[in-house]
A and B are shown apart, each in its own frame.
Chain A
Amino acid sequence: AQSVAQPEDQVNVAEGNPLTVKCTYSVSGNPYLFWYVQYPNRGLQFLLKYITGDNLVKGSYGFEAEFNKSQTSFHLKKPSALVSDSALYFCAVRDIYSGNTPLVFGKGTRLSVIA
């Protein structure tokens, strides 16, 4: 069975500082990994995904994530946080052989960037 863990309910960071939102996963095979962000009163917006190739994936709004197979992690990062990055972040996984089956999500991490 596939699963995702986001160990932090809340991450606080000062504006201009680097941010990291953690995600670890469990799949029986190889994973496809996704990050989504949810702003207030908005749907989940796709940020980036890891499919294959380079372990460092770049996405929208300056975010990037690093796939680490040995640690089964896919942490979301940004070199310099903005107040507008404050939102709820979800990590999700799918097994690569699962076809179009549903995404399995973590419970989300609330990021708060303080000016």
Chain B
Amino acid sequence: EPEVTQTPSHQVTQMGQEVILRCVPISNHLYFYWYRQILGQKVEFLVSFYNNEISEKSEIFDDQFSVERPDGSNFTLKIRSTKLEDSAMYFCASSDKRASYNEQFFGPGTRLTVL
């Protein structure tokens, strides 16, 4: 069964450093998402991406964040200058259709720790 994959599984970085989190969505999917979960809190939406542009973003997704689909398979989330409060589990998701009744398929997550 096809799966969304994410690398690395755990990233430790110093405050102020740039990080890139990588995702490989399911191959025939067209809609891509990043979510995050701070420890003990809700899973929160960051950004959605379709047709090589951002469809929607939350207020969390400020100028420090960017997304890119550099080739036909990868989908990346970049944080330019990490803050302590960026420490969280980051989930990538993809879906194949636009309709709101379609489920999204999630990767295993990248745990980001900012020191």
Contacts and interface: CB of A to CB of B under 8 A. Distances in A.
Given A36-B106, A43-B106, A45-B106, A104 B101 contact: no
Interface in A77-111: 90, 92, 94-108
Interface residues of B, number: 34
A103 B45 CA distance: 7
B56 A41 contact: no
Interface residues of A, number: 28
Given A42-B108, A43-B107, A44-B106, A100 B91 contact: no
Given A100-B55, A102-B45, A95 B109 contact: no
A101 B100 contact: yes
B106 A102 contact: no
A42 B4 CA distance: 10
